[in-house]
Amino acid sequence: METLFVTDWTRLFSPRMAHVRASEIRELLKLLDQPDIISFAGGIPDPALFPLDRVQAAYAQALADNGQAALQYSVSEGLPALRGWIAARMTAAGAPCGIDNILITAGSQQALDLIGKLFLAPGDTVLVERPTYMGALGAFNAYEPRYAALDLGAAAPSGARLAYVVPDFANPSGRTWPRREREALLERAEDGDLVIVEDGAYRELGFGGAAEPALIALDVARSGGIEAARTLYCGTFSKTLSPALRLGWVCGPRAVIDRLVLLKQGGDLHASTINQMVAAQVVSEGYEAHLEQLRSAYRAKSEAMQAALARHMPLGVSWSRPQGGMFVWVSLPEGFDGAQLLEACLAEERVAFVPGAPFYAVEPDRASLRLSYSLPSAEDIDEGIRRLGRAIAARMGGAVMAKAG
Ligand SMILES: Cc1ncc(COP(=O)(O)O)c(C=O)c1O
């Protein structure tokens, strides 16, 4: 047989690849397609809520009215019609701005990558919540940062350049920052000369009740205007229209947006022209009613999960009570390991979730896990949480009795 000499590619990769790693849990999560598994792992939008008819009509209209432009290259900053709509929405949310303050990106994920590229040099410190969105770590890692836990009670450590936060209905914690924490972060950022990256991925999915002001709105109010702000707001249509459109945006001072446009150009030239036309059309009418539908559907699922947790979790387990979004964060008794529990749950109970540890950039808390209620039905939520509760109770020993009911 011929000998095959395989090149040692790792020798040739750039040093930055030492920071880029596949997630350990990815292999386990590949098993989730099996039909008898009830999965709380996904964290993706419920496809039944996609505005399919309106997207279909908008594609037809874009091709019929302006087909040649729809299929053509377009400007890197994004189509003026869509940027204009976003600028008006950011203005209404308390951050008065114009279209030059908006860059359209390929989802908010690309916004995080471009922001990393613009601001981070190897060894710079990024301040993150514990836990944080692991996709943001994936975006920043290629720029070789260090991470430190964001501490609102202390001055930012030296070398800190950027604070990344998900202040509304967070992935993964489900938590929403109260106003005083938002104000405190702005103060810390001013003192430490930090860039604030506000990830608003779930901001539109509040279940009702008073929304907290966006960080960028508080920043604009303090600093006197968008051009003096140090917050970059990352928005997305992934959770409200469809993630497959791959459309998100950054809102921030022109000096930053101008540089991000150059990086966007170098990366992929521009976001899909036809998808931008479709999004601009779909949001132009009936968008508020559509959002209300999403909010009430996710609220119902969230309530089903809260009820199931109360019914089936053993004493000693606690969980977050999100006021929006798609996630509940569960804290297990000391000594539990979410990854081991997942393995056991897949094998014995056919129920899945994401273990908590990968959501930590520093000091992982292994006795935690993330549940998403976006996909399963209310019945499956109850049954899945019953199985999860049983698996946890079985590992708690006789000392802690499972709650009756
Ligand atoms: C907090 C957060 N930010 C950003 C993203 C990226 O989404 P997209 O690139 O589709 O806008 C996600 C996706 O799950 C998310 O949960």
Mutation probe of ligand 1 site: the residue of 232, 238, 327 with most atoms within 8 A of C-beta: 238
Cβ of residue 243 lying under 6 Å from some atom of ligand 1: yes
As a whole number of angstroms, the distance between CA 43 and CA 48 comes to: 14
pLDDT greater than 60 at residue 405:
no
Contact between residue 274 and residue 81 where contact means Cβ atoms under 8 Å apart: no
pLDDT greater than 50 at residue 69:
yes
As a whole number of angstroms, the distance between CA 91 and CA 82 comes to: 14
359-382 pLDDT per residue, tens: 999 999 999 999 999 999 999 999
Q: What DSSP designation does 346 have? A: I
CA 109 to centroid of ligand 1, rounded, Å: 6
Helix (H) or strand (E) holding 148: strand 146-149
For 126-139, what is the mean pLDDT? 96
246-280 pLDDT per residue, tens: 999 999 999 999 999 999 999 999 999 999 999 99
As a whole number of angstroms, the distance between CA 338 and CA 354 comes to: 8
Cβ of residue 235 lying under 6 Å from some atom of ligand 1: no
Cβ of residue 273 lying under 6 Å from some atom of ligand 1: no
Enter the tokens of residue 243. Answer: 């993630």
What pLDDT, on a 0 to 100 scale, did the predictor assign at position 403? Answer: 46
CA 7 to centroid of ligand 1, rounded, Å: 35
- Residue with CA at minimum distance from ligand 1 atom 8: 107
Identify which of 389, 357, 352, 390 has the alpha carbon closest to the alpha carbon of residue 371. 352
Ligand 1 atom closest to Cα of residue 133: 1
Percent of the chain with pLDDT over 70: 95
pLDDT greater than 70 at residue 27:
no
CA 170 to centroid of ligand 1, rounded, Å: 10
For 107-113, what is the mean pLDDT? 98
CA 245 to centroid of ligand 1, rounded, Å: 13
Enter the tokens of residue 369. Answer: 């896990």
Q: What is the pTM of this model?
A: 0.95
pLDDT greater than 90 at residue 21:
no
Cβ of residue 201 lying under 6 Å from some atom of ligand 1: yes
- Residue with CA at minimum distance from ligand 1 atom 16: 171
What pLDDT, on a 0 to 100 scale, did the predictor assign at position 324? Answer: 98
CA 108 to centroid of ligand 1, rounded, Å: 6
Mutation probe of ligand 1 site: the residue of 177, 236, 237, 326 with most atoms within 8 A of C-beta: 236
Higher pLDDT among residues 25 and 312, named by residue: 312
Ligand 1 atom closest to Cα of residue 248: 11
Contact between residue 371 and residue 327 where contact means Cβ atoms under 8 Å apart: yes
CA 391 to centroid of ligand 1, rounded, Å: 30
CA dihedral over 207, 132, 241, 43, signed as positive or negative: negative
What pLDDT, on a 0 to 100 scale, did the predictor assign at position 34? Answer: 81
- End-to-end, the C-alpha distance of the chain in Å comes to 66
Cβ of residue 74 lying under 6 Å from some atom of ligand 1: no
CA 359 to centroid of ligand 1, rounded, Å: 14
